[in-house]
Every structure is written in C-alpha cells, then in structure tokens.
Amino acid sequence: MASRTDLANAIRALSMDAVQKAKSGHPGAPMGMADIAEVLWRGFLKHNPTNPNWADRDRFVLSNGHGSMLIYSLLHLSGYDVSIEDVKSFRQLHSKTPGHPEYGYTPGVETTTGPLGAGVSNAVGMAIAEKTLAAQFNRDEHNIVDHFTYCFLGDGCLMEGISHEACSLAGTLKLGKLVAFYDDNGISIDGEVEGWFTDDTAARFKAYGWHVVENVDGHNPDAIANAVTEAQSIIDKPSIIICKTTIGFGSPNKQGTHDCHGAPLGDDEIAATREFLNWPHAPFEIPADVYELWDAKDAGQEDENAWNEQFVAYKNAYPELAAEFERRVILGELPEDFSEKAFQLALTTQQKAESLATRKASQNTIEAFAPLLPELLGGSADLAGSNLTLWSGSKGIQDDAAGNYIFYGVREFGMSGIMNGISLHGGFINYGATFLMFMEYARNAVRMSALMGIQNIFVYTHDSIGQGEDGPTHQPIEQIANLRMTPNMHTWRPADGVESVIAWKSALEYNEGPSSLIFSRQGLPSQARTEQQVEMIEKGGYILVDSDSAPEVILIATGSEVELAVKAAAELNASGTATRVVSMPCTNLFDEQDEDYKQLVLPNSVTKRVAIEAAHVDYWHKYVGFGGKVVGMSTFGESAPGGELMKHFGFTVENVIKTVQSL
C-alpha cells in the first residue's frame, strides 16, 4: 500500500510533468507544498468531489495561484471532474487547467487567483460570509453553516499591500474559521527574498490579532497535522501556520532556488527527480493504490448526506428560516415580488420629483430595498457619511455577527477583494462604497470580479469635477470610461432619483458580473418622464426629450449633464433646431439592445450629435461618430466650487449650443 510520501509525491510528479509538457508554468510551489496539501486535503478538508458546490463544504483558496498545478493535482487525485487528460492539457486553450486557477473553468476551484494577494483577500471574504451566515441562520443545536476557509499563500502574497488590508480586518473581526498556510520558502522569481523581504511575519500577524503557529516543518506530516488541529481549536482568531518549506522539493539540482520557481525543470532534471523521490512511474502515471487512498468521493458524499439529514431536521424545526436559506444560499434567487416592488418605487420616485444628489437618492433606494432583501450586505471603505451607504437598519458585523454592514476602514482594495470572496461564498449580495477616484486603489479586485462574472455592487460617489473643492486628486476623469470598457461590468451614472432606483434594481437583478453605480455629490433636478420612459431606463439609454418633428440634432448625456442637455435642447427647439435628448445612464446595457431599438434612439440618419459628460471625451466618439462632437474633459480638474468648475470647463448651456451650431 502506498505511503504518505507516495501520496505527496503524486502531486509533485503530476506538477512537474504537466509543466514540462506545457513548456510553461511554476513547478516549485506545488512540489514544495505537496506535503502540506496532502495533510490538509486528506485529513481535514470537508468537501465532496461529486458535488463541488455543496453549501457547507470547506473553502480552499490557492492564493499563490501561479502554483496552479498543486490544486489541479489535488482535484484530479481526489476524484473531481478533472481527468488525467485535463492535467495533460495544462495551460492549453479552453482546457480545465488554465495557467492560473480560474473560477468557472475547473470544478472545485473556488476563485480566480492570478494576482498575488487576491486569493487571501477572497478567503477573508469567504470567512466573513461563513461567520455572518452562521449567525443569521444557525439555531440551538442546528449548525447548518459550519465550515472552515483554508488558504495557501506565499511570500508574494504577503508583499502585496492587499494582504495587509484584508488580514488586518480579518483579525479585527475575529474570524476563527479562517486558517492560512504561509509557504515560507524564501524564494521569488528574482531569487532569495531576504534581499527585499525581511518582515517578521509572525509578529506582523500577531499584531493583527491572529493566532500564529510558527516554525512548522512543511515536510513533516505530523507537525503539519498538529498545527492544523491547533488552529481549528482557536475560535476567536484567524490562524496562520508558518510552514518552512523547500521550493521544488525533490529536484536534486534545483530545489531551494529560483530556477524551479517559474520554469519547467527540464527532461534531465525530471529524470533525476524521479530517482531522488523513488518515483519510478512514467509521466502522468499514478499507481492504483495511490488513487485509492486519495479518492475522497465516498467520504465526501457521506459528509454531505449527514448535512442533508441535519438540514431536514432544521427545516422541520424552522421552516421559514430553511426556506430563506434555500432561496439565498442554495438557489441564489431574489424574492419573487422584488422586481415589481422595485419598479413601483421608481414610479413613486418619479411622482415625488425631488431634486437631490444621486448619492442621497441611492441611500433612499437602499432604505427601501434593504428590508425586502435580508441577503443585502453593505459596507464602505470609510466615508459612509459621504457615500451614504448606511440605512436605518444597518448593523455592523463587528458588534453583531448576524448584522448586515461592514465598516471596511480605509481599505478600498481590501474591501473589493473581500467582496469578491463574500460573493463567491454565496448567500449574500454585496455592496461596497468609496469615492469614484479611489476605485483606482481597488482596480485589480474590481477587474477580478468582472473576470469571474460574479455579482458585486460597487457604489462610487463624487463622480466628477462637479464635486468641487477637493481638487484634481479627488476628481475622476478617465475612471468612468475604464469601468465601462471592462467586460461583464454594468456601469451606471444616473441623472436623478428615478434613474438611481432603476440602477439599483438592475444591479440587484444582474448576477453575471458586477455593477458600478456612480453617484453625484451635488444636487440634481428630477427629470419629467412618462411611465413608459421609466420602463425604458432599464435599456441603458432612452429618449428623454424629443422634438415635435424628426430630430436634426441629438444630445446624449449622463448624470449631472442630463440637466444641461435638457436646458440646451429647450433653447434649440425654441429656435427652430429640432433636438432630441438621449439619457444614457448605462452604456453597457444600451449596447446590448437589439439594432432596432438602438436605431430608434440613435438613428443613423441623424449625424449631428453631441455627447455631454464631465468625464474623458474619448469614450463618446463611438456614439457621436465622425460628424459629432463631445463636450467633456481632456485634462485633469482644478480646485474650486463645483459650479465654477463646470462653467470653467465648458459645461454650460451656451457652450452646448455653440458646439451644436459648429457641427
């Protein structure tokens, strides 16, 4: 019968063989962490390979995602739908084994981990979701939410700033079900890290409020198992297990060096490694007894069956809670009547016709929607009083684990990465807020949300130079275009309270990617609309004001500039220039409409077009064409009251009319 060493060496062999076949990849980390992975996956991890999405499974995150052959080997050996042919197709087009683990490609991969540090922030989010969901649903002896989040990470993850943001908050929130394993191998691509990374990692994590297990031999299964058992026993702190390992363990001439970090070992070194490890098997050949000991399907099904029985008892005792759990966690569906109620709120808001900042309209919408959606989990990277993300029922999870709001502190990047983890875990719809300008700090995590196609609602306020006196450091110019050009992202910039309600409604119903909701600091007037026009807002762009005859000119605007377009159109129509105003709060949704609708709103026959937005001009040329112009920004802003800046940069009725006349 195979030994534990054989079981770990199976990971090493598959990893070096797949990287060699692909002529690309990172064999060092999988070979160095194989012993840790064998102990965790065979001795502790609660999972079911035949149902990778079982609700109460443990979550496993490989934050050092360049070592992707580690998780692919584990999934294959454990019995997931990852065949040996999939392993052989490592890094090939449309394979289940891409270069870095990608959510949605491979069964059992919980998150996409390419950028270092992203995975550990996701793991913090998953642990937050587990703790909050448990507090909301568990009753008495019925612990239907009770699982761990395990995360592997390396030197690179710890050097990236997002790890500080996320791990600092994890300690504050006392996430006792989060266990991280630090692969302390002392090597990165450039060589030995002691030349650029001399942090006292143990002291750092103790300062965060983590439980730290130091000096664990990462190649000693008993020492690793004891460390995991110790970490699991600490219920009021997250734990980090610092494992000293040898990168590329088993490669006699390259282990312990950067030569095995990010390049294939080479045929000669692989042959030497097989001899060193006493692994006489051909490439991609795994002995039957090794497969037998790795297979987790039966044990995993038993764990899930036990949980299913537990859930039946829970359902009998708490039928309403169980129904909510099924809706939120298992099905991931909104309440059946939500869409209708949300639209009615839009109609009511239209009738009120209030002039207000769209950030305030956003808060009013949250106030109305949150009681309908117990799955709504809000937050802000500080600035809640400016972003207006708090509502009357907000309860911080730091005081009440069953709460519905996260005070992220000044951690925009960490917040966005954590939001990804919460979304991936399931059971919640996230929203998190900051100033639009500080999306730049979070950009990578926002992109990862879109790349994975997961639902998050990013709330961004202070949307333009109109926010005023803070000056160009706080005034976004190119950021809106950046968000609009991100695949899978829906980016909204509403003009008033009604469009703000529809933006929130759309974001809550859109679950194939994130939404960015961009709101103003300054007050904006309510625009007049019919009920049919309110319905059209969800198409992303619609005719807000039309001329009595066929339009000669079309003004396209978003956000605060819609008011400007409406005023300019009134003067143009009065002077005999037939002018249409198109409000386009979400260009992404407008682009998704059929050609007939787009031609109805923006007919090709009307070539005189002017787009108006206090953001970068370049984005709008695809809508105005060669015959049109853009009133927008091509420089950074200035420090002055918002109204003065708008005039200074040409956002006036006079300049819009002048621009139209110049066509």
**Which residues are within 8 A (CB) of 610 and not within 5 positions of it... i.e. 6 or more apart?**
553, 554, 555, 556, 624, 628, 629, 630, 631, 656, 659, 660, 663
Residue 376 annotated as binding?
Answer: no
Q: Which of 484, 600, 494 is nearest to 538 (CA)?
A: 494
Residue 155 annotated as binding?
Answer: yes
412 is a catalytic site residue: yes
Residue 71 annotated as binding?
Answer: no
Q: Which of 559, 420, 414, 589 is nearest to 489 (CA)?
A: 589
Q: Which of 425, 458, 417, 447 is nearest to 122 (CA)?
A: 417
Helix (H/G/I), strand (E/B), else coil: 516? strand
Phi, psi dihedral angles at 245 (to 5 degrees):
-130, 170
Residue 156 annotated as binding?
Answer: yes
Active-site annotation holder among 38, 102, 412, 499: 412
Residue 462 annotated as binding?
Answer: yes
Residue 27 annotated as binding?
Answer: no
Residue 26 annotated as binding?
Answer: yes
Residue 474 annotated as binding?
Answer: yes
Question: Are 663 and 626 a contacting pair, CB within 8 Å?
Answer: no
- Show the DSSP H helices in 404-541 as ranges: 412-425, 439-452, 479-484, 497-509, 531-536
Residue 426 annotated as binding?
Answer: no
Residue 386 annotated as binding?
Answer: yes
Q: Which of 236, 204, 205, 242 is nearest to 224 (CA)?
A: 242
Residue 114 annotated as binding?
Answer: yes
H or E element at residue 62:
strand 59-62
- The distance of Cα 214 from the centroid of its chain, to the nearest Å, equals 31
Residue 189 burial (C-beta neighbours within 10 Å; 0-12, 13-18, 19+): exposed
Residue 462 gets the label, from left (phi > 0), alpha (psi -120 to 50) or beta, of: left
Residue 616 annotated as binding?
Answer: no
Q: Which of 560, 360, 518 is nearest to 352 (CA)?
A: 360
- What token pair was written down for 93? 């087009």
Question: How does strand 553-557 pair with strand 629-633?
Answer: unpaired
Residue 76 annotated as binding?
Answer: no
Residue 529 annotated as binding?
Answer: no
What residues pair up with 609 in beta bridges, in sequence order?
Answer: 554
- The distance of Cα 133 from the centroid of its chain, to the nearest Å, equals 19
Residue 289 annotated as binding?
Answer: no
Q: Which DSSP string corresponds to 456-493?
A: -EEEEES-SGGG-TT-TTT--SSHHHHHHTSTT-EEE-
Phi, psi dihedral angles at 377 (to 5 degrees):
-120, 105
**From the CB of residue 310, how many other CB atoms can be counted at a distance below 10 Å?**
16
Binding residues: 26, 66, 114-116, 155-156, 185, 187, 261, 359, 386, 438, 462, 470, 474, 521
Binding residues for substrate: 26, 261, 359, 386, 462, 470, 474, 521
Write out the catalytic residue numbers. Answer: 412
Binding residues for Mg(2+): 155, 185, 187
Binding residues for thiamine diphosphate: 66, 114-116, 156, 185, 261, 438
